[in-house]
């Protein structure tokens, strides 16, 4: 609706708004923009912001918002940033986040909290607001979502391990897309939970997501988890073989029912106790809208959904404890100055411990400790192994509700279904249980913070694509609805999302 953000207008807006919003950890200047040549391409002169856990060759740090890495500059740039720059985009800065991606409110950051650009309509104007009345932008990619919402960039990259792109997008009233695991290279993304981490895209509208995604979703020999060209071709062939969708596409654009033929599933299990009335209302409104556009809206069951959150927090922390072992003060980042003499082993290990105790924040330390515990021989059979099993059940459950088979479980050659099988094409459910909470509420129960992720972690465990779309407000604060689709069915997901 509003004019696209240009590089110059982005920097002017950053100068005006970033001091209050704290969305950027660092950004370039007007002079730097003037001196850089941009490539010709579909993203020509798009100002983009990059989360502080994705490497860039900007002189500013890829700090992950951690003291442990506050001066760390990467010798190389993430492949996805190379792709976007190759298409003409200009990286305007690195965005604020929860330390190493661990959090849901962008409050665990060495830069301090980022602030949501939206203010409740019933409250005082921002400048008269007490600091504790400010709303969180969500996390962990809070800076990226706030930057897009405030017009400080046209698109932003975030990372999403269990919802970190979708939740802040919902709370800031913008679009947040988590593609299928493997569609976008992660070379240059600092690892949190490697089996879950993906790079996602935050923009104001779905069309802009599509522009960025078509440039970003390419094979990369530097990331062995990035889909190869043959796998991409297989997935596309499978998706295009769906007669019930491809047939309607031809006549769809001109008719009043542009989504005819698409079946939308409403998973009952997302109607959780914590769901607020406004979130429920927007869910109903979204379902009615898709029905009016020609979709067949049906109820589906995903009975293992309640187990997703504990399984996610077990697996993500276990992987984090292993991934973060590399921050030992020797290979990267800050090193403790005590004890000064490390010739004997006792002192050397004390220095290692001090380095980690002094430089990791409390939340990161908590997760490393618990992650180490759940993988210990005594605890793994009670926590780690059952969580892996739950993950498998959740994946199988999604495979059962989607009409499209999972390309990973199909044998070659493909034998696509000829008539519409039972099952749905997309799922519709809320992104969060309500609108953005106050920053001042941040010290309430720790578990309550984790509960925010109830809606987002199942898609992460299954590696399937999901997108959060803004749908209305409550008391002036945005609400988001989520669409999810079968593994590899990103294009259909985006097509439906355009209409929501």
Element (H, E) at 352: helix 345-359
Q: What single-letter DSSP state applies at residue 54? A: B
Taking the least distance from each CB to ligand GLN, the nearer of 89 and 315 is 315
Site membership for ligand GLN, residue 102 (CB under 6 A) = yes
Element (H, E) at 7: helix 7-21
Site membership for ligand GLN, residue 56 (CB under 6 A) = no
The percent of the chain in helix, strand and coil, each rounded to the nearest 5, is 45, 15, 45
Q: How far apart are CA 215 and CA 238, in angstroms?
A: 22
Number of H helices, E strands in the chain: 17, 11
Taking the least distance from each CB to ligand GLN, the nearer of 46 and 177 is 177
The token pair that represents 98 in the structure block: 């929860």
The token pair that represents 4 in the structure block: 């696209």
Using the contact rule CB under 6 A, the part of the chain among 80-88, 96-104, 206-214, 256-264 near ligand GLN is 96-104
Taking the least distance from each CB to ligand GLN, the nearer of 54 and 245 is 54
Rounded to the nearest whole angstrom, what is the least distance from the CB of residue 320 to ligand GLN in the complex? 8
Rounded to the nearest whole angstrom, what is the least distance from the CB of residue 98 to ligand GLN in the complex? 7
Q: How far apart are CA 480 and CA 116, in angstroms?
A: 15
Instruction: Tally Cβ neighbours within 10 Å of residue 91.
Output: 22
Using the contact rule CB under 6 A, the part of the chain among 142-150, 162-170, 235-243, 347-355 near ligand GLN is 162-170
Using the contact rule CB under 6 A, the part of the chain among 160-168, 247-255, 257-265, 295-303 near ligand GLN is 160-168
Site string for ligand GLN, 329-348 (x = CB under 6 A): --------------------
Out of 164, 185, 252, 321, the active site residue is: 164
Rounded to the nearest whole angstrom, what is the least distance from the CB of residue 117 to ligand GLN in the complex? 21
Q: How many residues bind ligand GLN (CB under 6 A)?
A: 14
Out of 51, 105, 178, 351, the active site residue is: 51
Sheet holding 24-27, edge to edge: 24-27, 90-95, 47-51, 155-160, 198-203, 175-178, 466-474, 477-485, 426-430, 263-267, 296-300
Picking from 394, 403, 188, 365, the residue whose alpha carbon sits closest to that of residue 307 is 394
Among residues 45, 99, 160, 319, the one that binds ligand GLN under rule CB under 6 A: 160
Q: How far apart are CA 73 and CA 302, in angstroms?
A: 44
Q: What is the dihedral of CA 54, 57, 58, 61, to 10 degrees?
A: 50
Residues 172-231 that bind ligand GLN (CB under 6 A): 192
The token pair that represents 174 in the structure block: 């913008």
**Is 140 assigned a catalytic role?**
yes
Among residues 47, 93, 101, 151, the one that binds ligand GLN under rule CB under 6 A: 101
Site membership for ligand GLN, residue 163 (CB under 6 A) = yes
Site membership for ligand GLN, residue 103 (CB under 6 A) = yes
Residues 271-330 that bind ligand GLN (CB under 6 A): 316
Q: Give me the phi and psi of 204, to 5 degrees please.
A: -85, -25
Site membership for ligand GLN, residue 107 (CB under 6 A) = no
Out of 66, 104, 140, 211, the active site residue is: 140
Instruction: Tally Cβ neighbours within 10 Å of residue 420.
Output: 14
**Is 164 assigned a catalytic role?**
yes
Site membership for ligand GLN, residue 62 (CB under 6 A) = no
Contact between 391 and 398 (Cβ < 8 Å): no
Binding footprint of ligand GLN on the chain (CB under 6 A): 101-104, 140, 159-164, 192, 316, 453
Tell me the catalytic residues. Answer: 51, 140, 164
């Amino acid at each position: 609706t509003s004019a696209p953000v240009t590089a110059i207008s982005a920097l002017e807006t950053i100068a005006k708004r970033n001091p209050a919003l704290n969305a950027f950890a660092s950004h370039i200047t007007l002079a730097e923009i003037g001196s850089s040549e941009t490539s010709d391409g579909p993203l020509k002169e798009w100002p983009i912001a990059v989360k502080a856990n994705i490497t860039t060759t900007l002189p500013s740090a890829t700090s992950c918002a951690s003291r442990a890495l506050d001066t760390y500059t990467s010798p190389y740039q993430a492949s996805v940033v190379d792709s976007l720059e190759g298409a003409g985009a200009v990286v305007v800065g690195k965005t604020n986040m929860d330390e190493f991606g661990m959090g849901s409110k962008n409050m665990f950051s060495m830069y301090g909290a980022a602030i949501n650009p939206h203010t409740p309509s019933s409250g005082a104007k921002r400048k008269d607001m007490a600091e504790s009345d400010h709303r969180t932008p969500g996390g962990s990619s809070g800076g990226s979502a706030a930057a897009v919402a405030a017009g400080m960039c046209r698109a932003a990259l975030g990372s999403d391990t269990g919802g970190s792109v979708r939740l802040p997008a919902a709370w800031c009233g913008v679009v947040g897309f988590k593609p299928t695991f493997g569609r976008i290279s992660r070379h240059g993304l600092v690892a949190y939970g490697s089996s879950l981490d993906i790079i996602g895209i935050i923009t104001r509208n779905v069309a802009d997501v599509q522009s960025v995604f078509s440039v970003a979703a390419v094979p990369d020999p530097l990331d062995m988890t990035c889909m190869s060209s043959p796998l991409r071709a297989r997935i596309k062939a499978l998706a295009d073989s769906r007669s019930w969708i491809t047939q309607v596409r031809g006549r769809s654009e001109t008719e009043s029912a542009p989504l005819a033929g698409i079946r939308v599933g409403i998973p009952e299990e997302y109607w959780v106790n914590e769901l607020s009335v406004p979130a429920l209302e927007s869910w109903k409104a979204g379902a009615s809208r898709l029905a009016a556009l020609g979709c067949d809206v049906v109820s589906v069951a995903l009975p293992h959904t309640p187990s997703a959150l504990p399984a996610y927090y077990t697996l993500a922390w276990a992987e984090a404890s292993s991934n973060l072992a590399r921050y030992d003060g020797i290979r990267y980042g800050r090193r403790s100055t005590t004890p000064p003499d490390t010739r004997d082993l006792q002192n050397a290990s004390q220095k290692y411990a001090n380095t980690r105790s002094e430089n990791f924040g409390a939340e990161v330390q908590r997760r490393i400790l618990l992650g180490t515990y759940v993988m210990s021989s005594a605890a793994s059979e009670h926590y780690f192994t059952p969580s892996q099993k739950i993950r498998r059940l959740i994946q199988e459950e999604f495979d059962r509700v989607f009409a499209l088979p999972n390309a990973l479980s199909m044998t070659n050659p493909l034998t696509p279904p000829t008539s519409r099988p039972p099952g749905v094409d997309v799922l519709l459910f809320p992104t969060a249980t309500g609108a953005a909470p106050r920053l001042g509420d941040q010290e309430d129960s720790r578990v309550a913070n984790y509960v925010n992720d109830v809606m987002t972690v199942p898609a992460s465990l299954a590696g399937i694509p999901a997108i959060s779309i803004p749908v209305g407000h409550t008391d002036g604060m945005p609400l988001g609805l989520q669409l999810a689709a079968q593994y590899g069915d990103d294009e259909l997901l985006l097509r439906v999302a355009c209409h929501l």
